[in-house]
């Protein structure tokens, strides 16, 4: 997938990228975001070696999102044994994510998408908010399953 700019400027640091919609059968896009440590994460490379479960939370360190994240924490070993990596995606800062990850003992990486570029491409952006949802990508990066409106329950 190509990153398209809605802005007339060529400066990618200024332009907000608009990604193509990611539907079943589509691949993870070429996009760089930050993890909870502030390190660059190449989204297109997440599923190079394993399948990926990507779950989205509206706001870290809130009751519903903590219930959701801890539920995924508790089943993390099951997915790992099936050759899947797990990631939590939110629009929160890497700093907020790191604190939450530490206090809740979350074993998987968190990805910060402050411009909601990937969140929107997944169809999980509602105005200025993120819909609680999850997406499953097969090894190689193709979307094979999605639940774009989930409850926070375990």
pLDDT in tens, 26-64: 999 999 999 999 999 999 999 999 999 999 999 999 988
Local confidence band at 16 (pLDDT 50, 70, 90 cut-offs) = very low
pLDDT digits 0-9 by tens, 49-107: 999 999 999 999 998 899 999 999 999 999 999 999 999 999 999 999 999 999 999 99
The answer to whether 56 and 89 have CB atoms below 8 angstroms apart is yes
Question: In the prediction, which pLDDT does 103 show?
Answer: 96
The CATH number for 32-147, chosen from 3.40.30.10, 3.30.420.10, 3.40.50.720, 3.40.640.10, is 3.40.30.10
Dist CA 52 CA 80 (whole Å) = 10
Per-residue pLDDT at 15 exceeds 60: no
| Phi, psi (rounded to 5 degrees) for 50 | -145, 165
* 65 noted as active-site residue: yes
Nearest residue to 88 (alpha-carbon basis) of 60, 63, 49: 60
Higher pLDDT, residue 71 or 147 = 71
Candidates 65, 70, 88, 150; catalytic one: 65
**Residue 4: pLDDT band with limits 50, 70, 90:** very low
- Structural domain boundaries of the chain? 32-147
**DSSP class of residue 23?**
-
């Amino acid at each position: 997938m190509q990153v398209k700019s809605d802005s007339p400027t060529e400066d990618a640091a200024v332009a907000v990228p608009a990604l193509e919609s990611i539907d079943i059968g589509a691949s993870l896009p070429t996009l760089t975001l930050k993890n909870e440590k502030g390190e660059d994460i190449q989204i297109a490379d997440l599923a190079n070696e394993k399948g990926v479960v990507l779950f989205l939370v509206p706001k870290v360190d809130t009751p519903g999102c903590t219930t959701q994240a801890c539920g995924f924490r508790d089943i993390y070993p099951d997915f790992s044994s099936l050759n899947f990596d797990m990631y939590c995606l939110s629009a929160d800062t890497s700093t907020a994510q790191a604190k939450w990850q530490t206090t809740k003992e979350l074993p998987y990486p968190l990805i910060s998408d402050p411009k909601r570029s990937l969140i929107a491409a997944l169809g999980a952006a509602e105005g200025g908010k993120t819909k609680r949802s999850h997406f499953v990508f097969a090894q190689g990066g193709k979307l094979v399953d999605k639940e774009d409106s989930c409850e926070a329950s375990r």
